[in-house]
Copies of this chain bind each other. A is one copy, B any other.
Amino acid sequence: MATIYDVSVLAGVSLATVSRVMNKNARVSEKTRQKVLDAMNELGYRPNAVAQSLASSRSNSVGILVSELQGQFYGAMLSGIEAELRAAGKHVIITAGHSNEADEIDGIEFLIDRSCDALILHVEAVSDDYLIQLSKSPVPVVLINRKIDEISDNCISLDNEKGGYLATRALIDQGHKKIAYISGPKWKADAQGRLAGHRRALAESNLDYDSELVVEGNYQESGGVDAMKFLLAQKRPFTAVVCANDETASGAITICRENGIKMPEELSIVGFDNIIFAGHLYPKLTTMDYPIVEMGQMAARLTLKNTYQTKGATIQNLFEPQLVVRDSIQPVLKNAVDTSA
């Protein structure tokens, strides 16, 4: 592999000059510029990124930490970020935090150690304090799906509480009174927010909050499956269920169908996230749109602005979820799930 030295020799100039033509900033005479460029071509020269990083403590790449590599939500988020960054000529280093503190910290340190120019994090387990501290370090950080007041400028987040509220509200507006809820893992902030919104909607309409109808899932199909089995086994009537995300809803729907429950006639369902699949479920899922691709782009844009001085970008820190009405809800009739079946 040719080095900058080889190029300098072939071009008959100094190392410094070669470096200058690579980093377009400094002025170099057009003539020597060409000589150098030619030499580079002839040698098939490619700068050693590691050496560049060491010398300049920049890397032209931003580190991304996401909870899981799997899942439509994360996939969409990564796509949004990557597309925007790549368009700006930046590269992306992605790693996973697995929703647990040790892995998240490990991942963050890995990214920093690779001298990423900036970080975009979707972290769940790590504490606010840690992040506040982190944001004081030299490497710019953008948080996605998390809002911390002290560093709110660096947060791109969704109003989860409002989403939970709107989801439940959609059901209440259709006359539902017994509304079950399959939550995400309760230690997660977004799961808490959504559930809080659910409770607010209930309270606002003077509906009781029945803790027996609230069960914790895992944001995955399997959680929806288990939770719905549990709800049905309880034989406690409900006419609608809001699921903390679409995967959960999908699992729940599967179990309902296996139990011969007609949707939406006998049971209305609303999901959360509006992943691509939501529109292909049967019944097509009414859900809260989580503009995760746009938010990913926004996070990237914020990074570009903070770190690479890209200008002209308007930053939107808080996004609003929006109800997407499809086929999975309908007005309540006398259609409580027959718990004696």
Contacts and interface: CB of A to CB of B under 8 A. Distances in A.
Contact of A115 (B50, B75, B253, B277): B50
Contacts of A251: 280
Count of this chain's copies in the oligomeric assembly: 2
B113 A46 contact: yes
Interface stretch (A93-101, A140-148, A167-175): A93-101
A221 B49 contact: no
Nearest to A74: B75
Contacts of A221: 276-277, 279-280
A188 interface: no
Given A74-B75, A75-B70, A92 B91 contact: no
A96 B75 CA distance: 12
A69 interface: yes
A190 interface: no
A26 interface: no
A20 to B, nearest CB: 20
B49 A114 contact: yes
A279 B277 CA distance: 13
Interface string A268-312: 000000001101111010000000000000000000000000000
Interface stretch (A4-12, A32-40, A76-84, A192-200): A76-84
A135 interface: no
Contacts of A48: 54, 113
Nearest to A103: B86
Contacts of A50: 50, 53-54, 59, 113-115
Given A50-B54, A280-B251, A79 B69 contact: yes
Interface residues of A, number: 47
A95 to B, nearest CB: 6
Interface string A39-69: 0000000111111011000010100000011
A92 B95 contact: yes
Contacts of A277: 221, 250, 277
A72 interface: yes
B54 A51 contact: yes
Contacts of A109: 46
B93 A93 contact: yes
B69 A82 contact: yes
Contact of A54 (B54, B68, B86, B281): B54
A276 to B, nearest CB: 6
Contacts of A103: 86
Interface in A254-274: 254, 257
Given A221-B276, A221-B279, 18 more contacts: A46-B113, A49-B114, A50-B54, A50-B59, A68-B75, A68-B79, A69-B75, A69-B79, A70-B75, A70-B79, A71-B75, A74-B75, A75-B75, A93-B114, A250-B277, A253-B282, A280-B281, A282-B282
17 contacts: A46-B109, A47-B113, A48-B54, A49-B110, A49-B113, A50-B115, A69-B82, A69-B94, A72-B72, A72-B75, A86-B103, A92-B96, A250-B280, A253-B280, A254-B280, A257-B282, A281-B281
- Nearest 6 interchain pairs by C-beta: A49-B113, A69-B78, A282-B282, A70-B75, A94-B94, A70-B79
